[in-house]
């Protein structure tokens, strides 16, 4: 888990300063049928918000925890990330992820084994959800940087 936390911290800290330095054209260019780099960052913000709720709720709601999916495309459109100031968007993404880092750093070994039931009825543990969150973040950061 510690390796995931270190990777997570590095991804967030490095990219919070580098993303706003990208050109407006690069950030807002939308390939046909795909998200712009700004919208990808917006998607990562939505993911952070939803996962922050999951990573905290699991500690006080009835076990096993039931994972609730969300509509990623609708959220990116409704939140109008394409029109949002990149500094403001980056700060929002950064702040929510800093809080997730605090949660990850303080979670105990027993809690990492909490069971989570996904919408397809498969079962995972909190540790998997947290490490998968970091992998998801890295995947999309690589898309933004490419």
Q: Give the phi and the psi of residue 18 in degrees, each rounded to 5.
A: -85, -35
CA pair distance 55, 112, nearest whole angstrom? 10
Alpha-carbon torsion, ordered 10, 58, 53, 93, to 10 deg: 0
CATH number at residue 19: 1.20.120.450
3-state helix, strand, coil in the chain (%, to 5): 70, 5, 25
Characterize the bridge pairing of strands 65-66 and 123-125. unpaired
Alpha-carbon torsion, ordered 20, 72, 33, 131, to 10 deg: 70
In the chain, the number of structural domains is 1
In tens digits, the chain (146 residues) has pLDDT values of 999 999 999 999 999 999 999 999 999 999 999 999 999 999 999 999 999 999 999 999 999 999 999 999 999 999 999 999 999 999 999 999 999 999 999 999 999 999 999 999 999 999 999 999 999 999 999 999 99
CA pair distance 41, 92, nearest whole angstrom? 10
- Please give the residue range of the domain that contains residue 71: 2-145
CA pair distance 53, 56, nearest whole angstrom? 5
Structure tokens belonging to residue 54: 């999951």
State if pTM tops 0.85.
yes
């Amino acid at each position: 888990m510690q390796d995931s936390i270190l990777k997570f911290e590095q991804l967030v800290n490095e990219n919070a300063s580098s993303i706003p330095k990208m050109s407006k054209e690069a950030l807002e260019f939308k390939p046909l049928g795909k998200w712009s780099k700004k919208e990808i960052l917006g998607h990562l913000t939505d993911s952070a918000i939803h996962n922050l709720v999951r990573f905290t709720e699991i500690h006080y709601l009835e076990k096993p925890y039931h994972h609730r999916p969300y509509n990623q495309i609708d959220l990116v459109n409704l939140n109008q990330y394409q029109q949002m100031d990149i500094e403001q968007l980056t700060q929002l993404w950064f702040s929510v992820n800093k809080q997730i880092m605090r949660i990850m750093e303080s979670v105990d070994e027993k809690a990492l084994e909490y069971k989570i039931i996904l919408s397809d009825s498969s079962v995972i543990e909190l540790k998997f959800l947290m490490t998968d969150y970091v992998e998801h973040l890295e995947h999309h950061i690589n898309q933004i940087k490419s």
